[in-house]
Amino acid sequence: MSFYLYRTRPVLLLALLLVLLISTSPMIQAHAKHSSPSPKAVTTVTHDHDDDHDLIALSPAQQRRAGIRIQTVTLSAHPLSWNVPAIIRPHPNHTYVISLPMNAQILQRHVSLGEPVHVGDPLFTLRSEELAFAQHEWLSRQDEWQRIQAMGKRNAGNDLYNRVRQQVWDAEARLRRFGITPSEVTTRTHFGEHVLLSPFAGTVIDDALNLGKHIPQGEVLLTLSDLSQQMADVYLPTTQPIARQQQCQAQQLTQTGISMAILTQRQHPQHTDNTGQALMQVTIDSGDQPLLINSHASVSLRCPSSTLTTPLPEQALVMSPEGEWQVFVEVTTGQYDAVTVGRGATMNEGAQRQVLVTGLNEGQRVVIAGAFFIAAEAAKDGFDAHNH
């Protein structure tokens, strides 16, 4: 047996060498490549090792069916527009505070919160010991003055005549300080009581008094405001990329479907709330539809931006499987790359909504129509934008 193997070994070696030559022959390889089946899928995912990104390739027929349209990216600092909350305030130039001219007790209230008031309308009925003393003093001084006048200046003497006249003047001035004229004193039967009349016109916007309460002199009784013009406190947002807050423009104020034009605006950078937001105060023309004081409204702002963005149609943005906004950038004809972007403010330009997008470079070609078709094809082929 060993002799037989020894004799056949050269034959086996020659057979192995022949098989090796046949397998490495170019003609045999070309025939094998020609006979291999071709792929049937039109949408392909190719891998570019230079930028380590997956690309989505569409055939010309698929591009026509998707209605692919491309827009070249141009970056600029577009003004930002958004709505911010505001609080309605009375206008300080049209607001009046009615204070008590004496220590008094509130006997009767003649106006209520929210009620319109005209000049000369009764506000409160007061009772005051100081007023009663002033009324009695004026009456006594007046009686003495009438007696001196009857005597005549020559008979009474210059000193007495001038002294009594000055005393009458002082008593009358004290009455007027309390809001009473001398003629009113002579017609009063209840000394110490007084009906306080309004010196201004407006709407009662603050009144926290109770009947029977003793009020010290100088205490505020109520506040009146002409609500044909009002103000609103607007706090500028700090989370937005605003270039210059002082150049923000308030467009209009809205509340429950009512829109009001902004007459004037004034920014107070030194006034901030607890979050450090700068305060802007705007004046609105309320007309005959005043807004409720301390109620909330919305003010549309337009501010210069410090971030370079590009406006794209809203349909150009799609949501990635990871929940991020992305667009498709054309790398070459028929090949697209998914790029994650930041979505900013939305603008209405005609019938089309535009979105300010960050994260793109100048000159990139972005798909603005057919992005959902590309996303669907990518999902069907297992495309992973992040190469996971």
Q: Which pLDDT tens digit goes with each residue over 5-36? A: 444 555 555 556 555 555 555 444 444 444 44
Instruction: Please provide the DSSP assignment of 126-171 as one string.
Output: EE-HHHHHHHHHHHHHHHHHHHHHHH-HHHH-HHHHHHHHHHHHHH
Contact by Cβ (8 Å): 207, 259? no
Q: Which two tokens stand for residue 265?
A: 């605006």
Spatial CA neighbour of 245 closest among 270, 275, 267, 276? 267
Rounded to an integer, what distance in angstroms lies between the CA atom of residue 17 and that of residue 11? 10
Spatial CA neighbour of 248 closest among 272, 223, 268, 221? 268
**Separation in Å, CA 231 to CA 101, 210, 283, 304:** 29, 29, 4, 24
> What are the strands of the beta sheet with 122-127, ordered from one edge?
193-197, 122-127, 104-109, 214-215
Spatial CA neighbour of 255 closest among 282, 227, 229, 290? 290
Spatial CA neighbour of 337 closest among 66, 56, 45, 46? 56
Residue ranges of the alpha helices (H) in the chain?
2-23, 26-35, 60-66, 129-151, 153-156, 158-177, 182-186, 371-380
Domain covering 84-91+227-302: architecture: Beta Barrel (2.40)
Residues near 259 by beta carbon (within 8 Å), at least 6 away in sequence: 252, 253
pLDDT at 340: 94
pLDDT at 182: 76
- Position 15, amino acid: A
pLDDT at 43: 44
pLDDT at 116: 92
- β-strands 122-127, 229-235: how paired? unpaired
pLDDT at 47: 41
Secondary structure letter of residue 23 according to DSSP: H
List the chain residues with pLDDT less than 50: 1-7, 26-52, 243, 385-388
For the domain made up of 93-225, the CATH class stated in words is mainly beta
Q: Which two tokens stand for residue 65?
A: 């069916």
Tell me, yes or no, if the pTM score tops 0.75: no
- Cα 88 to chain centroid distance, Å, stands at 13
Domain 44-76+308-380 classified CATH 1.10.3720.10? no
pLDDT at 58: 92
Annotated domain spans of the chain: 2-35, 44-76+308-380, 84-91+227-302, 93-225
